Chains A and B, each alone.
Chain A
Amino acid sequence: MSQTIERPSAPSDERLAARSPLRKLLGRPEIGALVGAVVLFVFFSLVADAFLRASSFSTVLYSSASMGIMAVSVSLLMIGGEFDLSAGVMVTTSALIASMFSYQLTLNVWAGVAISLVVTLALGFLNGLLYVKTGLPSFIVTLGTFFMLAGLNLGFTKLITHNVATPSIEDMDGFEQARSVFAANWTIGGVQVNISVLWWIVFVAIATWLLLRTRSGNWIFAVGGSASSARAVGVPVTRTKIALFMGVSFTAWFYGMHILFNFKSVQSGEGIGNEFFYIICAVVGGCLLTGGYGSAIGAAIGAFIWGMTSNGIVYAEWNPDWFKFFLGAMLLAATVVNLVVRRRAEAGQ
């Protein structure tokens, strides 16, 4: 694919043209997911009458956004070479903190929102710190925090509210205001669109810019691709990894606030198992499980695939017993595509 070419004076444009645009496109991490998304879209359009309606599309987008917001930060973390298995329950933790803090102390809900942000970011920091200090795989460290948070969610909720769900905070001061930020529904051309879809797009845009256009992005790729190499050239590996864990906790907070203000009360058992779906979105979107490669846009496409599949099966009125089979098959297919891409990149000499 590339050689040291003997004539340094040769016009470079000529040879640049040799690398076809198609080839370049095929090198993008999200290409496998994009192809999959198009195929699925066409497929469901054909088999499900209701799928192509604008209102249905809005439902699919909302469903995608509810996975996608977390998938953004989870994909960044995966590019940085780590997992966070506590991401799913952390969303619930964050929502529970905001809800219970406001309710129990009878405060304006914004106070709960702020406290929740602080605590959730601290949890992300703790995940990162534990990982860095112990040197254990993040898989193990966050598996530990996953169970701990799941236990704390239930334990504290029952201790404080004597129930397994928090009471509704719908009638409290600041609720409507907070709802308009985190969970408002807008009607655009007769179709209801939830604000979380917009936030999702904003987060994807920021993450993409961060990854491709900033120094931090460079460092994220580097710490995931080869932490020892990155350290040797002076990249602050520890700081970068902790920041990535905190990124996950930030979106966990945001998404937790969406859940709280959209559904008014929170069940302490929610969120368990979602961490795997976030990882699936990222992997389907082209992130390598081993780190160093991937994109936020890919994760967004992964979330969109998720939204299309989970709702498309409903639109097509199929037996939903098979849903998990489709999900698994897609994950496998996406991983194989990525494997091929990586082999080509690594052994392309």
Chain B
Amino acid sequence: MTARHEAGRPSLVELTGVGKRYGNVIALRDITLQVNAGEITCVLGDNGAGKSTLIKIIAGLHRHDEGVFRVDGREVAFGSPREALEHGIATVYQDLAVVPLMPVWRNFFLGSEKRKGSGPLKRLDIGFMRGTAKEELLGMGIDLRDVDQPIGTLSGGERQCVAIARAVYFGAKILILDEPTAALGVKQAGVVLRYVVQARERGLGVVFISHNPHHAYPVGDRFLILKRGRSIGYHTKDEITLDELTAQMAGGAELDQLAHELESAGVKGAPELREEARDLGASD
């Protein structure tokens, strides 16, 4: 049953029929998904579609109730983000999990500080951390004048990149990016997408969460579309075009329905709407 990558190795992350409920609210139902090394799996959906629940399960913030969650072929159920991290799963949250008032290098190493000395004199290896942060960022193409500046002074795109660079440096095999381009302008989003591709080229498996198919399609290898906690489509890139993806996302079927209603109400312009829906490949 386990899906095999071309090389015959198990997927880095594989969900089979995973579900989650909060009390009697079903947040997620029957989700199947693979993330392979050197691939980007995109998770698309509107607000409330269940994207964040899905990330929380993979990132170890919540435990799934149904189905099977495998990492490297072995079944897991994480109790904390730390466990997920130990399995090489790093998450870059929408709020980036950075502390705005702290210097860039402190943020870079936060939670995984490098120390020297021993006993009560065990202290931070500041020189090393400062240097490494600068180098690693440079490696991703971000050249900061001063890694001592508070990370809050960086632009949104830069902060996103610092968070990605951090995850890569700490040996993440799987990178979960939660809406990395959501709050960014067109240019900044482009910068971030470039780093996402760079991470893939380094051989990482990437889970890219987005509600914008125009950002997801160019970089993605697989696409999972969620709606109200259910999967309404799971495709590899060669199975689907950007238009079809957009249509599924935007709920082309609903657009069609709307056209019907407007038509029967005699509203002008309904035929154009129906045409639009057909174009999106959602209508009969």
Contacts and interface: CB of A to CB of B under 8 A. Distances in A.
Indicate whether A and B are direct neighbours in the complex (CB within 8 Å).
yes
A347 B150 CA distance: 10
B126 A16 contact: no
Nearest to B98: A229
Interface string B94-116: 01111111100010011111010
A235 B124 contact: no
Contact of B138 (A2, A8, A19, A221): A8
Interface stretch (B12-20, B40-48, B153-161, B234-242): B153-161
Interface string A220-253: 0110011011111111000000000000000000
Contacts of B112: 233-234
Interface in B225-240: none
Interface stretch (A69-77, A211-219, A272-280, A318-326): A211-219
B110 A218 contact: yes
Nearest to A348: B153
B99 A225 contact: yes
A214 B120 CA distance: 10
Classify the secondary structure of B's interface with A. Answer: loop
Interface stretch (B141-149, B197-205, B249-257, B260-268): B141-149
A125 interface: no
A230 B141 CA distance: 26
Interface string A1-15: 111110110101001
B91 interface: yes
B124 A342 contact: no
A7 B138 CA distance: 10
B145 A15 contact: yes
- Size category of the A interface is 35 or more
Contacts of B100: 225-226, 292, 345-346
Contacts of A5: 143, 145
Nearest to B104: A2
A235 B82 CA distance: 9
Interface in A270-299: 288, 292-293
Contacts of B154: 2, 349
A15 B115 CA distance: 29
Interface residues of B, number: 41
Interface in B65-103: 81-82, 85, 91, 93, 95-102
Contact of A342 (B101, B113, B134): B101
B96 A229 contact: yes
Contact of A4 (B85, B153, B191): B191
A214 B123 contact: yes
B99 A221 contact: yes
A219 to B, nearest CB: 8
A293 B101 contact: yes
B145 A2 contact: yes
Contact of B85 (A2, A3, A234, A292): A234
Contacts of A218: 102, 106, 109-110, 113, 124
Contacts of B102: 218, 221-222, 225, 292
Contacts of B149: 1-2, 348
B106 A2 contact: no
Given A230-B99, A349-B155, A8 B81 contact: no
A345 B150 contact: yes
B123 A346 contact: no
B91 A2 contact: no
Chain B CB within 10 A, most for which of A2, A18, A230, A292: A2
Contacts of B134: 12
Contact of B144 (A2, A209, A346, A348): A2
A19 B82 contact: no
Contacts of A228: 95, 97
Contacts of A18: 145
Interface of A: 1-5, 7-8, 10, 12, 15-16, 18-19, 209, 213-215, 217-218, 221-222, 225-226, 228-235, 288, 292-293, 342, 345-349
12 contacts: A2-B146, A2-B149, A221-B99, A222-B106, A222-B111, A226-B97, A226-B98, A229-B96, A233-B111, A235-B111, A345-B153, A347-B152
